Amino acid sequence: MNANMWVYTHSFNLLTGKGVAIMAAERKGKRRTVRTAAAAVLLGTALAATGSLDSRLTAGDGPIAAAEAAKLGAKAPSATTQQAEPMGKSARTSASRKPVAISALSDASFLQETGIAAAWKLLRRDVTGTIAIVDTGIDLKNAALQPYLTDGVNLLDDAKPPQDDNGHGTAVAGVIVAAAEAAKGANAEAAWKMKLMPVKALDDKGEGDESHLSGGIRYAIEHGADIVVLSLGLRRDAPGMRSVIDLAESKGVLLVAATGNDAADFGERAAVQYPAAYPTVIAVAGAQARQGQINSTGGPEVDLSASWQVDTLALGGGRLAMEGTSMAAPQVAVVVAMLRAAHPDWKPAFLRETLRRTAEDIGAKGRDDATGYGLVRTDRALSAALAADWREPNGAQRSASPFPPGTEVYSAWGGSLDTDWYAVEAHEDGILSVRMQTNLFDIGPAAVKLSLYRPGAAHPIAVHGTSGGAMTWKVSKGRYYLRADGSSRSSPLPYRLTSGFKMLPDRTEPGSDRDSAYAIEPRTQTWSGTFDRKDDEDWTTVKLPQAGTVKVTVETDTTRIDPAITLQRDGQAEVRTDTNGDGLPETATMKNAPAGRYYIGVSNAAADGAPPVIGTYTVRLEYITTYADLGEPNGGPLTSASLAPGAAGILKGLISSKEDADWFRFKTAGGRYEWKLDGIPEGSTFKLAVYSKELKLLGQWSSKAKNSSLNVLQKLAAGTYYARITADRADRSAYYRFGVMNAD
């Protein structure tokens, strides 16, 4: 398995004049994945124009010829768009989309929705500089694009030009060109003179590696790009990419990236992809009809949203409609370019903050994980002046500004008495870090104070330590409030906060190998774990008292984890299971496992040397044995097992089938007695019924969910009694224990 490989999976709908044909360029397999984040609909005669795509089309589970696809389109009444999956390991996408009407695809309504068209009337300076598009290349032969192009690079073959052979990069460029052309229609005073730099980092199938992604960004920085558009991403942090992101910030290059389209398939497990997840990269989600788009990946790192669906340029000529966060990201790049033209002296930090401040709130009030600060609005951004402390009033907990982990805040203290409060939501137990900078604004360092509080608390939480110039606190899942106090300066003091988060070690630590494996009991059970450090592996060990079946299932709450399971019998070869992809469960089963010691390893297969991850996994161990029911036959009153009072009289039993019932009889001289039933298997509900000698029901009780025991206190007259135990499911993996105790 090559940890550096990434696979681009892209599904299109082709909408011809006669109907719909489906084209899916999907690469399958267990390889590292960087993917673009879009789906597409081709208009009119675009099918004939897409020369690089006309050799083979796939629909459903098999390939069809282009001509056959056109025939198929004639029969199809509507378009059902499948969303392309953002980066991770190769996975089949099947998120169905709503039908798209032809009339809705023939305009550039996103220009109005995001205020780009109106903003041209406000701009007084030409838009100059360079936007780099790191993608599949750009169609260099497209007449609509040629006036806007500058030199680029083909990182896959430096002897060849960065010609697009997939279509995705051309579509991204088409969004920017649509905004540029809008200046002519608005009779604007300013003109678009910014060039597009094609950086080809993906091949015709959308495949490449992490080094090409990082190398593409680095090339753009070193060759004069002012803005870099990244309509692709990884589902994991990568040291090489993190360093090039830092380089971009230090050189004043602003990065814009798509968050991904995982939400439809993974729900709350979908995590914002990298590089969008880095604090200094503008993370762009999708919006539709001025609300969050259900397929767009959300999360605490989301900054802004833009139109999910656009009309853009097709490879080889013609137009097409595409949808996804891939198409939202270039819209924000346009806004950055226009705002930069209006304020050429502004740092990237000021540009980012102005876009956040002027966004149209379209989701839950205030910032939300689906749309960030809201829908990007070019007209509002160009009308706004720089306002460093725009989050005011935030001088108390009740008016605290949102500051999610993994993001940045630029603000300012108005003077020595100014205090700013921020609300920090910890989604897991872990270590929160906050770094403050005041010297990046060329005013020199200043003495500042950061304090973290629980809601309503009078005193702050003790500082856990420092790391990389940041203060750290140990926190539990929930909301906290960060208080930022400035120095004694009477003049305004700008500052920047950057937050981070790290998971705590799990309870199996330091079980990082077989020698330090955490010992568990030989029974069916569940536990949770984390990957809190690089290349973390968590090992447990269990000693089976007798032969049986061992089944291990691992699930995760984030797409940043690709669980892998290693099972090994002591002294034997290990068996590794890594069948599924990011965010999906894995199951490993060892049938007829002999008695003895076994080791269970859980790791993150997202990459070799996988980085720490914010998220958890859950392991379910099932130990299934063929225990003999020592009390059988006791299926009725006549064959009931005799039960003596006291601890010495406790009996063991099994529910071997859903219809199984175990009967017990007990003689008493009268008094208060306690029925004690424990060892109830996880996930099972047991029922205890007590009868008189005449088999009259005297009472019945059921165990509660997640409880492994059931205790009942009952007053009984002298005589003989029967107890009947049943369950809602069979379980032969462990004995339950049943007894009666004198409670007087």
Q: How far apart are CA 7 and CA 263, in angstroms?
A: 19
Does the pLDDT of residue 302 top 50, yes or no?
yes
Q: How far apart are CA 566 and CA 574, in angstroms?
A: 6
**Which amino acid does the sequence have at 287?**
A
Which CATH number applies to 397-501: 2.60.120.380, 3.40.50.150, 3.90.79.10, 1.10.10.10? Answer: 2.60.120.380
262 is written with which tokens? 């995982």
Q: Are 517 and 511 in contact (CB under 8 A)?
A: yes
Which of these ranges, 203-217, 275-289, 488-502, has the smallest mean pLDDT?
A: 488-502
Pairing between β-strand 62-64 and β-strand 57-59 as defined by DSSP bridges: antiparallel
Q: Which of 434, 460, 382 is nearest to 115 (CA)?
A: 382
- The DSSP result for 284-319, as a single string, is EEEEETTEE-TTS---TT--EEEESEEEEEPTTSSE
State the pLDDT confidence band at 435, using cuts at 50, 70 and 90.
Answer: very high
Query: Can you name the CATH fold of 113-383?
Result: Rossmann fold (3.40.50)
State the pLDDT confidence band at 79, using cuts at 50, 70 and 90.
Answer: very low
Does the pLDDT of residue 397 top 80, yes or no?
yes
Q: How far apart are CA 424 and CA 480, in angstroms?
A: 5
Q: What local confidence, expressed as pLDDT, does residue 82 receive?
A: 26
Q: What local confidence, expressed as pLDDT, does residue 489 receive?
A: 59
Q: Find the catalytic residue in 10, 90, 164, 168.
A: 168
User: pLDDT digit string (tens) for 635-661?
Assistant: 999 999 999 989 989 999 989 888 999
Q: Find the catalytic residue in 11, 135, 231, 733.
A: 135
Q: Which of 662, 558, 686, 681 is nearest to 620 (CA)?
A: 681
Mean pLDDT in residue range 388-410: 91
Q: How far apart are CA 412 and CA 23, in angstroms?
A: 51
Q: Are 666 and 714 in contact (CB under 8 A)?
A: no
Tally the residues of the chain.
Answer: 744
Q: What local confidence, expressed as pLDDT, does residue 210 receive?
A: 86
Residue with tokens 């809008």: 182
Helix or strand holding residue 180 (H, E): helix 168-185
State the pLDDT confidence band at 46, using cuts at 50, 70 and 90.
Answer: very low
Rg (CA), the chain: 31
* HSE, side-chain direction, 13 A CA sphere, residue 187: 0
State the pLDDT confidence band at 203, using cuts at 50, 70 and 90.
Answer: confident
Q: Which of 223, 226, 221 is nearest to 241 (CA)?
A: 221
Residues 6+ apart with CB under 8 A from 486: 413, 415, 416, 418, 419, 446, 448, 493, 495
Q: Find the catalytic residue in 326, 499, 640, 733.
A: 326
310 is written with which tokens? 């656009």
Q: What local confidence, expressed as pLDDT, does residue 406 receive?
A: 94
Helix or strand holding residue 335 (H, E): helix 325-342
Q: How far apart are CA 221 and CA 237, in angstroms?
A: 20
Which CATH number applies to 518-624: 2.40.30.10, 3.40.605.10, 2.60.120.380, 3.40.50.300? Answer: 2.60.120.380
Q: What local confidence, expressed as pLDDT, does residue 488 receive?
A: 56
CA of residue 150 relative to chain centroid, distance: 35
**Which amino acid does the sequence have at 245?**
I
CA of residue 622 relative to chain centroid, distance: 28
Mean pLDDT in residue range 592-613: 93
Query: Can you name the CATH fold of 637-742?
Result: Jelly Rolls (2.60.120)
Q: Is 219 helix (H, G, I), strand (E, B) or coil?
A: helix
In the chain, which residues fall in CATH 2.60.120.380? Answer: 397-501, 518-624, 637-742
Is 326 known to be catalytic?
yes
172 is written with which tokens? 């991204």
Mean pLDDT in residue range 33-38: 59
Mean pLDDT in residue range 149-166: 97
Bond prior to 393 in cis (omega within 30° of 0):
yes
Does the pLDDT of residue 70 top 60, yes or no?
no
Q: How far apart are CA 558 and CA 525, in angstroms?
A: 22
State the pLDDT confidence band at 449, using cuts at 50, 70 and 90.
Answer: confident
Q: How far apart are CA 445 and CA 337, in angstroms?
A: 31
Which of these ranges, 413-427, 486-500, 581-595, 688-702, has the smallest mean pLDDT?
A: 486-500
**Which amino acid does the sequence have at 194?**
M
Q: Which of 114, 168, 116, 172 is nearest to 307 (CA)?
A: 114
Q: What local confidence, expressed as pLDDT, does residue 487 receive?
A: 61
C-alpha dist (Å) from residue 120 to 172, 179, 182, 337: 20, 9, 8, 12
Q: What local confidence, expressed as pLDDT, does residue 731 receive?
A: 82
Q: What local confidence, expressed as pLDDT, does residue 446 receive?
A: 54
Q: How far apart are CA 359 and CA 373, in angstroms?
A: 6
* HSE, side-chain direction, 13 A CA sphere, residue 25: 24
Strands (E), 427-492: 430-437, 449-453, 465-467, 470-475, 478-485
Pairing between β-strand 309-313 and β-strand 319-323 as defined by DSSP bridges: antiparallel
Mean pLDDT in residue range 529-555: 94
Phi first, then psi: what are they for 548, rounded to 5°?
180, -170
Q: How far apart are CA 588 and CA 566, in angstroms?
A: 8
User: pLDDT digit string (tens) for 667-677?
Assistant: 998 999 999 99
Higher pLDDT, 22 or 358: 358
Is 368 known to be catalytic?
no
Q: How far apart are CA 315 and CA 301, in angstroms?
A: 32
Q: What local confidence, expressed as pLDDT, does residue 586 receive?
A: 97
Phi first, then psi: what are they for 544, rounded to 5°?
-80, 125
Mean pLDDT, rounded, of the chain: 84
State the pLDDT confidence band at 38, using cuts at 50, 70 and 90.
Answer: low
Bond prior to 455 in cis (omega within 30° of 0):
no
Q: Which of 503, 475, 449, 434 is nearest to 279 (CA)?
A: 434
Phi first, then psi: what are they for 272, rounded to 5°?
-55, 135
- Max mean pLDDT range (16-25, 96-105, 291-300, 606-615): 291-300
C-alpha dist (Å) from residue 629 to 640, 661, 726, 735: 13, 12, 14, 8
Q: What local confidence, expressed as pLDDT, does residue 730 receive?
A: 85
Q: What local confidence, expressed as pLDDT, does residue 4 receive?
A: 40
Q: Are 299 and 80 in contact (CB under 8 A)?
A: no
Strands (E), 136-234: 153-154, 195-200, 208-209, 227-230, 232-233
Q: What local confidence, expressed as pLDDT, does residue 96 receive?
A: 28
Does the pLDDT of residue 455 top 80, yes or no?
yes
**Exposure b/e, 400-420, CB count within 10 A at least 16 = b:** bbbbbbbbbbbbbbbeeebeb
Which of these ranges, 92-101, 290-299, 494-503, has the smallest mean pLDDT?
A: 92-101
Q: Which of 657, 709, 662 is nearest to 689 (CA)?
A: 662
Is 709 known to be catalytic?
no
Q: How far apart are CA 427 and CA 439, in angstroms?
A: 31
Residues 6+ apart with CB under 8 A from 419: 395, 413, 483, 484, 485, 486
Does the pLDDT of residue 678 top 70, yes or no?
yes
How is residue 407 annotated by DSSP?
A: -
Helix or strand holding residue 507 (H, E): none
